[in-house]
Structure 1
Amino acid sequence: MKSLTGTTTPEAAAPDDTRPFGTHIRMAWWKSLIVIAGLPVALLLLQLALYLVAGLVDGAEDPLESNLTPLKLLAANLSTALTALLALVLVSSFAKVPWRRVLSSPRGFDRRRLATYFAGSALLVGAGTAVVAVVTPDAPGWVGFGVSGTTVALLVVVLLTTPLQSAGEEIMFRGAVLPAAGSWFRAVRPAFIAGLVVSSLSFAAVHAAGDPALSAYYVFLSLCTALMGLLTRGLEAAIAFHVANNMVTTTVNVLMADGGVLVVDRSEGAGDGSSLLVLVVVNVAVLAFVGFRERANRAR
């Protein structure tokens, strides 16, 4: 089987523990294309289907409107979690590797790492959110503090399913799409760069932001979490940061919606420069925290 670079690649190969995480899994080029193209399509179809059901149950005039009721937030989160399961099945089957190798390699998945990085990320994201509240309080679209039945229901959905959604995105894009794109190259550096570019652009595309600055931020977030995987040889740090980021920001947005539904605005002009700059700094701070801690662990 010829790869896109002309080199011979097997239909499937065992994980190569000598290669960095993200380039350790290889598969035939046509299988990698199925992973790269199929997962975003599956996510879109699942989300549309579950959105439609949630909208009909809510009795909305437009079942596909972007504002998130508790049921629509549940639909969005579950669609991502289900697509992540599909990603594990596809990569495990196509590359003939244990599904656990998608999460970390060569070591096993480390729950202690996950907890440590979640705690650190939550503190940094919380600090960043506080800075946004002081510097640009109007940027996130906050209406005012309020608690209603809708607020409580949204918070329950956030607590129970946002970790599944956030972990699901990391599994899909950093655990599956990145190594799938990297399979096109044998050399480590071009393999990782290809995976980095394809997974980051795909991640930004599925968020469908109409604002260029917001799309650029999604690309940057993806780059940071991919580098966390490279530093740690696993997805624990990336998942921990993604979960902390989404749980903290979504919780604050729900509480500041004045008891109403969660408003999602990614249209042109929605990406305020000052608030996005704060988020970029938070991303860099978490990445630095991961790098310093991993270096300390190796030193020990």
Structure 2
Amino acid sequence: MSHPPSGQPSWMPPQDPVPGQGEVQPQPGGPRDPFPAGPVQQPDLGQAPQGYGQPPQGQPGYGQPPQGQPGYGQPPQGQPGYGQPPQGQPGYGRPGTPVYGQPPQGQPGYGVAPGQGAQVAAPPQWVPAQKPEPLPVEPRAYHHFYRTPAHRWWKPLALVALVVVGFIISSVLVVFVASAIELATGGITAEQLMAGEVPSSPGFFAANNIALALLIPFGMLGQWLVYGQRPRWLSSVEGGVRWRWLLVCAGVVAVIWVVYSVVEVALTGFQLQGTQIALWLTLIVLTTPFQAAGEEYGLRGTLTRAVAAYFPDGRVALVVAMAVSAVVFMFLHDAQDPWLNIYYLGFAVVASLLTWRTGGLEAAVAFHVINNLIALVLTVLAGQTDSLFEREVGAGSPWMLVGVFLAVVVALVIDRLFVRSSLRRATAPGAPATLPGGEPAVLPGRSS
């Protein structure tokens, strides 16, 4: 009875040894000796016996497929792997869709670092909405300067309301102070004040001029608050008072108006009989320029621009705004004499034309200041200060038409001088520095 080899259960049948796996080859010429007499060659510590864990030559190792056959979990050549579509066919799902977890062809891969392969598109960033440009983006004349991307239908109404409310409140305060001073000095009685009588006294004259002068800051502040245009843009289309041009206009008006006044005095006669001449002249010189400028900033400036903003066409805007400001100017003087009303209307129209043709208020301010200074000085020297605020029927005469004619002459001379200057009558300060194509933006010519 044969015994199984050592290490094999007795109930298993005997198996032939696998070549190359631990079999002891018998020595040629004799039977196999399971207990050799000589010492057995042991491997060094940490090394496996020779042949241990290595398959015979020509057979694959443990866990490796035979050569020429696909490995475990790998498809044969020419067939797609598990979970991968065949070559040339779209991935799992609808035709034309990419494989799950892989980006479509032609698009950067998920998680690709910048600089390695396709670039990853930057996520969209939030950009705050830009406010509309408050200044003209295309060439605009002075009266049309509120016709900007920031214009809204309610803004002219809000601007005029702010200026009017400010003027009324300041006028009440200034008149209250002047009344208190006149009561304290005996210039007016309480009975006259309660009856609404306003005497032509130096105090009330100065109060009237100061109240009108405040139209300048009210107009500038209202323009800044409502339209976002800085105060300096109310003076001219070039962003400020052009002082040299203002002096040139004042010189032209002074020459013509002095000649006109001398002729008028020679024809009507003049007698020096004024009182408090020094006080009156001081108040006239100090306050009248600001009073005249305030009327121009309020009427030819704020009101004209507010009305013109409602009309896209510049010519229509000019005509309508000029007519409205002239009528308001006439009614504010509260004259019942028709000749005075004709003069006020003509004066206002000429001032509006000067503002339009010169691109600013300097010429109109110079015309208004020189006219008022000469007229007030003559009135004080003649002792007619009691008639300063009298405009009843008979206060004027047809001679006022000569003044309207000379106002037109003044406007023509100033316009010719302006054409020869380097000033502009239309600008676009809100326009970009360059055009979309990269060319520099060109503003219109100085006299266009």
The TM tier, using the shorter chain, reads 0.7 to 0.9
TM-score by length of 2: 0.58
How many residues are matched? 283
Quote the residue 1:193 is aligned against. 319
Identity percentage of aligned residues? 27
CA shift in 2, pair 1:108/1:38, >3 Å: closer
Preserved contact between residue 151 and residue 261 of structure 1 (Cα < 8 Å): no
Q: Give distance in 2, aligned partners of 1:48 and 1:212.
A: 29
Alignment deviations for residues 262-298 of structure 1 (CA, whole Å, 9 cap, x no partner): 6321112212112x01211221121111111112226
**How far did residue 220 of structure 1 move?**
1.3
After superposition, the CA RMSD in angstroms is: 2.5
- Residues 56-86 of structure 1: CA distance to partner in whole angstroms, max 9, x if unpaired? 4223132453442111111011001112211
Report the Cα distance in structure 2 between the residues aligned to 1:12 and 1:110, rounded to whole angstroms.
24
Which protein has greater RCO, CA pairs closer than 8 Å, 6+ apart?
A: 1
What is the rounded CA distance, in whole Å, between the counterparts of 1:170 and 1:218 in structure 2?
Answer: 13
Gapped regions of structure 1 (runs ≥ 5): 1-9
Inter-partner Cα distance in structure 1 for 2:257 and 2:161: 31
| Partner residue in 2 for 1:133 | 265
The answer to whether residue 203 in structure 2 is matched with residue 71 in structure 1 is yes
1:20 partnered with 2:141: yes
The AA in structure 2 aligned to 1:18 is P
Q: Is structure 2 residue 409 aligned with structure 1 residue 285?
A: yes
Deviation (angstroms), 1:200: 1.2
Q: Give the Cα–Cα distance (whole angstroms) in 2 for the partners of residues 74 and 272 of structure 1.
A: 27
Q: 2:230 aligns with which of 98, 103, 107?
A: 98
Other-structure match for 1:209: 335
Change (3 A) 1:245 1:107: same
Structure 1 runs of 4+ aligned residues shifted over 3 Å read 10-13, 34-49, 63-67, 260-263
Amino acid at match of 1:221: F
User: C-alpha offsets along residues 183-242 of structure 1, whole Å, 9 cap, x if unaligned?
Assistant: 111111111112111111111121111223212221211111111111111111111111
Change (3 A) 1:288 1:113: same
Sort the Cα spacing of 1:129 and 1:38 in 2 relative to 1 into closer, same or farther, 3 A.
farther
1:26-55 alpha-carbon deviations (Å, 9 max, x no partner): 343323124445545654554354334323
**Structure 2: stretches of 5+ with no match in the other structure:** 1-130, 423-445
Match 2:391 to one of 266, 273, 295: 266
- Secondary structure of the 2:142 match is coil
Q: Specify whether residues 83 and 109 from structure 1 end up closer, same or farther in structure 2 by C-alpha distance, changes over 3 A only.
A: closer
Q: Identify the residue that residue 112 of structure 1 maps to in structure 2.
A: 244
Output one character per residue of 1:3-34: Cα deviation in whole Å (capped at 9) or x when no partner: xxxxxxx9874234512111122343323124
Find the aligned partners of 2:273 and 2:285 in 1 and give their Cα distance. 18
Report SS of the residue matched to 1:22: helix
* 1:156 to partner: Cα distance: 0.4
Q: Match of 1:252?
A: 378
Name which of structure 1's ranges 10-19 and 233-242 shifts more when overlaid on structure 2: 10-19
User: Structure 1 residues 107 and 263, CA, compared in 2 at 3 Å: closer, same or farther?
Assistant: closer
Once the 2 structures are TM-superposed, how far is the Cα of residue 145 of structure 1 from its aligned partner? 1.2
8 Å CA contact 2:141, 2:359 repeated in 1: yes
- CA 1:58 to 1:289, structure 2 compared with 1: closer, same or farther past 3 Å? same
The normalised TM-score by structure 1 is 0.85
Distance, in Å, in 1 between the alignment partners of 2:379 and 2:170 is 25
Larger displacement relative to structure 2 (82-91 or 13-22): 13-22
Residue 215 of structure 2 contacts residue 294 of structure 2 at CA under 8 Å; is this kept in 1? yes
